[in-house]
Chain A
Amino acid sequence: SQQGEEDPQALSIQEGENATMNCSYKTSINNLQWYRQNSGRGLVHLILIRSNEREKHSGRLRVTLDTSKKSSSLLITASRAADTASYFCATLPNFGNEKLTFGTGTRLTIIP
């Protein structure tokens, strides 16, 4: 798989349920970031987790990072219709540059 692969590719859940998206990557990283993209819009930064962190919270978002498995997960609790969007993980390499490598994304649909 390529650097930054999310699964599932698409996820539909009922409003109020929790949504979990996963991301795998191949090379060493400095940090991993999650972004949201509403249709036709730009990328909105959600959360950044550093390589020495294992879990991070921000509001209804919880991100985990397992560097031994080169994987991360994004959990959105108590989902809302407004959470409908595509979610991308992006990795920053461990060698000091600023180039983000994006995954393929998970398309999340919240059914009211």
Chain B
Amino acid sequence: EPEVTQTPSHQVTQMGQEVILRCVPISNHLYFYWYRQILGQKVEFLVSFYNNEISEKSEIFDDQFSVERPDGSNFTLKIRSTKLEDSAMYFCASSGPGTGSNQPQHFGDGTRLSIL
């Protein structure tokens, strides 16, 4: 069964550095998402991406964050000037094919980001 894959599985970075988290969504999916889960807390929506542009973003997703689909397969989340509170598990998800809200979102195994 097709899967969403994320790399790396664990990223350790010094505070203030930039990180790029990578995702390969399921190949025929059209909608892409990033969520995060701070340890012991709920999974929180960050951003959705469709047709090469952001379709929705949360208040968490400020100027520190950006997303990109640099080619036909990868979907990346960039976090600039990382802070201690950015430490979390970051999940990529995708849904489709086709449009419409009644498509389940399929998640990757996540990248654990640790800011020191």
Q: What residues of chain A have their CB less than 8 Å away from a CB belonging to chain B? A: 4, 30-31, 33, 35, 41-45, 48, 50, 88, 90, 92, 96-105
Contacts and interface: CB of A to CB of B under 8 A. Distances in A.
Interface of B: 4, 6, 31, 33, 35, 42-45, 48, 50, 55-56, 58, 91, 93, 95, 101-102, 104-110
A102 B105 CA distance: 12
Contacts, number: 63
B96 to A, nearest CB: 10
Closest 5 CB pairs of A and B: A42-B109, A102-B43, A43-B107, A45-B104, A42-B107
Given A45-B104, A48-B102, A97-B55, A102 B110 contact: no
A98 B101 contact: yes
12 contacts: A4-B42, A30-B102, A31-B102, A42-B4, A42-B110, A43-B43, A96-B101, A99-B45, A99-B48, A99-B56, A102-B42, A102-B43
A43 B91 contact: yes
A109 to B, nearest CB: 17
A33 B103 CA distance: 10
| Most chain A CB neighbours (cut-off 10 Å) among B44, B56, B109 | B109
Secondary structure call for the A interface: strand
A38 B107 CA distance: 13
A100 to B, nearest CB: 6
A98 B43 contact: no
Contacts of A102: 35, 42-44
Contacts of B33: 98, 100
Nearest to A96: B101
A29 to B, nearest CB: 10
Given A42-B91, A88-B43, A98 B56 contact: yes
Contacts of B105: 33, 45, 98, 100
B42 A104 contact: yes
